[in-house]
């Protein structure tokens, strides 16, 4: 099993350019997430998808859009990149929470994005 | 809103010694989960240990153990017999049952160095 994979690993964009970060998981997880990691701030949730066909905003959704293409894939799109979006982006997945337990999240290797 | 604080931006430990990383959190909920994640230079986020708030017994995973003090809202991680491979960023994370998928809050992280 590859777990959670992300492409690309590195990307440099100019202000105003657009791009899509791809994420896929092979663990048959229902829930998927996109985080950004900035120095001194830990990880902050951008968007999540509790199940196929649903997406919801997290803590910092502005400037981003997402698509849950199918159960395996969850993409993050930057329509018009800004320098403030320079960050490391992580995709994660987990089994669906139940009333009995909350499951840990499995993370991809991250994408380092620089916007100049 | 819940918050997670890690008051030690950096820590160091001698190889084979023991180190404790601190984490405090703020919540009004009674049922939740706490996690410690490790992020080595490879950037991959790896689950180290988890603790259910309703369990009084502290979780242990090999050389890693926690000291969970629910009343004090404290969740420290103890690493025994430290190894060079333990060098990484460590993130404390909080997750509640509310707002499935959304309420997963990370602390800012502690960078641990292991000295040979």
Model confidence pLDDT, tens digit, residues A50-70: 888 899 998 899 999 999 989
Interface of B with A (CB under 8 A): 4, 9, 33, 35, 37, 42-47, 50, 52, 91, 95-97, 100-102, 104, 106-109
Best B21, B45, B98 member to test A by mutation, with max A CBs in 10 Å, is B45
Q: Are A38 and A87 in contact (CB under 8 A)?
A: yes
The mean predicted confidence, pLDDT, of chain A is: 91
pLDDT of residue B30: 83
For B92, the 3-state DSSP assignment is strand
Q: Are A40 and B111 in contact (CB under 8 A)?
A: no
pLDDT of residue A107: 92
Distance between first and last Cα of chain A: 36
Q: Are B63 and B49 in contact (CB under 8 A)?
A: no
Per-residue pLDDT tens digits of chain B, which is 116 residues long: 788 999 999 999 999 999 999 999 998 888 888 999 999 988 888 999 999 888 889 999 999 999 999 999 999 999 999 999 999 999 999 987 665 555 678 999 999 999 99
Best B6, B24, B42, B104 member to test A by mutation, with max A CBs in 10 Å, is B104
Q: Are B92 and B8 in contact (CB under 8 A)?
A: no
Positions of chain A with pLDDT under 50: none
Q: Cis omega before residue A6 (within 30°)?
A: no
Task: Report the 10 Å Cβ neighbour count for A17.
Answer: 14
């Amino acid at each position: 099993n590859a777990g959670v994979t992300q492409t690309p690993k590195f990307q440099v964009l100019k202000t105003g350019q657009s791009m899509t970060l791809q994420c896929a998981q092979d663990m048959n997880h229902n829930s998927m997430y996109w985080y950004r990691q900035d120095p001194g701030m830990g990880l902050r949730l951008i968007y999540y998808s509790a199940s196929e066909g649903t997406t919801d905003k997290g803590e910092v959704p502005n400037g981003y859009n997402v698509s849950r293409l199918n159960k395996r894939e969850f993409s993050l799109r930057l329509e018009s990149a800004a320098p403030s979006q320079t960050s490391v982006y992580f995709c994660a997945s987990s089994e669906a929470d139940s009333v009995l337990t909350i499951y840990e999240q499995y993370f991809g290797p991250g994408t380092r994005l620089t916007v100049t | 809103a819940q918050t997670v604080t890690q008051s030690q931006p950096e820590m160091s430990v001698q190889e084979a010694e023991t180190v404790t990383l601190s984490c405090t959190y703020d919540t009004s909920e009674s049922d939740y989960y706490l996690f410690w994640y490790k992020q080595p230079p490879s950037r991959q986020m790896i689950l180290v240990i988890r603790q259910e708030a309703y369990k009084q017994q502290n979780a242990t995973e090999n050389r890693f153990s926690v000291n969970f003090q629910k009343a004090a809202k404290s969740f420290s991680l103890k690493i025994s017999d430290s190894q060079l491979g333990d060098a990484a960023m460590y993130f404390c994370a909080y997750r509640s049952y509310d707002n499935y998928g959304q309420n997963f809050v990370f602390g800012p992280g502690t960078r641990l160095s292991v000295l040979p």
